[in-house]
Chain A
Amino acid sequence: GAVVSQHPSWVICKSGTSVKIECRSLDFQATTMFWYRQFPKQSLMLMATSNEGSKATYEQGVEKDKFLINHASLTLSTLTVTSAHPEDSSFYICSARGILGAADSGANVLTFGAGSRLTVL
């Protein structure tokens, strides 16, 4: 249980184009989703937190107009990297937080997706 699917697993795009990454919770409702960025051999840096139906809260230094986050349903959040440039090349990881099982008796879960490797040429 508590499976998070992230797609695509890797993507290559040309500079100036936009790329969308999807994060889906497959067997639970994700009330909150988190988006991270990870450079090679470095830690995970939180980019933004999104609650279903609300605007995302961005961490300091993260451009909200460049990294568009949508969390329109309890099972799907998307991250769109707009006008991507080579410096945006990175590993992007989502995580989803919710309740697995019945709302009044289920277990709180926090599960990470497998990540998306973005390469901007």
Chain B
Amino acid sequence: QQQVKQSPQSLIVQKGGISIINCAYENTAFDYFPWYQQFPGKGPALLIAIRPDVSEKKEGRFTISFNKSAKQFSLHIMDSQPGDSATYFCAAREGGAQKLVFGQGTRLTINP
């Protein structure tokens, strides 16, 4: 059973455009939602994270939107650049637990 569902599987965006990746979850005990960026042959790197007591968090060109009632959260990349081309994973962690549950990943390609 996939606890965190991520879409789309792949995404192509023109340079300067907005990239949007969505995730949905079922477990209401999740209380921490990070997004990771992974380049080929490398480990994931934390991009931005949010807790469910806020509806939006922005860091530079990256924004997380969080809808607690719908149990959905999304990553928006503004002014997308070719260097943003990577695989993005959303994740969730249950309060009190230590392990992360990852979404399936989205392969993002930014065309120049």
Contact A44 B89 (CB under 8 A): yes
In the complex, whether B41 has a CB less than 8 A from a CB of chain A is yes
* Shortest Cβ gap from A18 to chain B (Å): 23
> What CA separation (Å) do A117 and B40 show in the bound complex?
11
Contact A43 B105 (CB under 8 A): yes
Contact with A along B76-112 (1 / 0, CB 8 A): 0000000000000100000000111011110100000
Contact B98 A97 (CB under 8 A): yes
Contact of A49 among B36, B98, B105 (CB under 8 A): B98
> What CA separation (Å) do A48 and B99 show in the bound complex?
9
> What CA separation (Å) do A46 and B4 show in the bound complex?
14
Q: Which residues of B contact A (CB under 8 A)?
A: 36, 41-46, 89, 98-100, 102-105, 107
Given contacts A115-B41, A115-B42, 20 further A-B contacts (CB under 8 A): A42-B104, A42-B105, A43-B89, A43-B102, A44-B44, A44-B89, A46-B99, A49-B98, A49-B99, A91-B41, A93-B44, A110-B46, A110-B100, A111-B46, A112-B36, A112-B43, A112-B45, A114-B42, A114-B43, A115-B43
